[in-house]
Structure 1
Amino acid sequence: MKILGIITEYNPYHLGHRLHLQEAKKLIKPNLTICVMSSSFVQRGEPAMISYQKRAAIAIEEGIDIVIELPLVYACQSADYFAKGAVTLLHEMGVTDLVFGSEDGNIETFLEIAEGIEQDPDTYNMKVKEGMKDGLRYPDACNQALQFILNKEVRTPNDLLGLSYVKEVVHHHYPISMHCIKRTNDY
Structure 2
Amino acid sequence: MSTVVGIIVEYNPLHNGHVLHYSRAKELTGAEYCVAILSGPFLQRGEPAILSKQARAEMALHMGVDLVIELPIHYAVQPAEWFAFGAVSLLEATGIVDYLCFGTESGSLHELLPLAKQLTQEDPIMQQELTHLLSTGMNYPTAYSAAASKLAHNLDQQEEIRQLLHQPNHSLALHYLIALERLGSPIIPLTIARESAAYHDTTPSHSNIASATSVRKMVSTDGVEAITPYIPSYTLEIMRREFSAGRGPVHWETFRQPLIHHLMTHTPEQLSLIHEVTEGLEYRVKKTLPILSQATVEELLHSLKTKRYTHTKLQRMLTHILLNHSKEEMSPKELAKGPGYLRILGFSKQGRQLLKRMKKTATLPTIMKPSVFTHHHLERDLQAAAAYANGYDQSDMRDMYRDYYESPIRW
What TM-score does the superposition give when structure 2 sets the normalisation length?
A: 0.44
- CA-atom RMSD in angstroms: 1.3
Q: Which residue of 1 aligns with 2:370?
A: none
% identical equivalent positions:
39
**Is the 2:39–2:53 contact (alpha carbons within 8 Å) kept by the matching residues of 1?**
yes
Unaligned runs of 5+ in 2: 153-157, 200-411
1:156 corresponds, among 167, 170, 173, to 167
Cα deviations across residues 67-122 of structure 1 (Å, max 9, x unaligned)?
Answer: 00000010000011100100000000121100000002112222021022235523
Taking the TM superposition and a 5 Å limit, the aligned residue runs for 1:129-148 are: 129-148=131-150
**Superposition deviation, residue 64 in structure 1:** 0.5
What TM-score does the superposition give when structure 1 sets the normalisation length?
A: 0.94
CA distance in 2, matches of 1:108, 1:176: 17
Deviates more, 1:115-124 or 1:83-92: 115-124
Q: Which residue of 2 aligns with 1:116?
A: 118
Instruction: State yes or no: 1:175 paired with 2:176.
Output: no
Q: Which residue of 2 aligns with 1:67?
A: 68
Deviates more, 1:46-55 or 1:144-153: 144-153
Bigger radius of gyration:
2
- Spell out structure 1 runs of 4+ moving beyond 6 A: none
Q: Which residue of 2 aligns with 1:38?
A: 39
Structure with higher strand content: 1
1:166 corresponds, among 152, 177, 180, to 177
CA distance in 2, matches of 1:60, 1:126: 45
Aligned residue-pair number: 187
**Superposition deviation, residue 146 in structure 1:** 1.6
**Is the 2:26–2:32 contact (alpha carbons within 8 Å) kept by the matching residues of 1?**
no
**Superposition deviation, residue 135 in structure 1:** 1.5
CA distance in 2, matches of 1:179, 1:69: 22
CA distance in 1, matches of 2:23, 2:100: 14
Q: Which residue of 1 aligns with 2:94?
A: 93
Instruction: State yes or no: 1:76 paired with 2:87.
Output: no
CA distance in 1, matches of 2:124, 2:179: 16
Instruction: State yes or no: 1:57 paired with 2:68.
Output: no
**Superposition deviation, residue 49 in structure 1:** 0.5
Change in CA separation of 1:82 and 1:119 when aligned onto 2, cut-off 3 Å: closer
Report the 3-state secondary structure (helix = DSSP H, G, I; strand = E; otherwise coil) of the residue aligned with 2:185: coil
Q: Which residue of 2 aligns with 1:128?
A: 130
Deviates more, 1:106-115 or 1:8-17: 106-115
Instruction: State yes or no: 1:102 paired with 2:104.
Output: yes
**Superposition deviation, residue 139 in structure 1:** 1.1
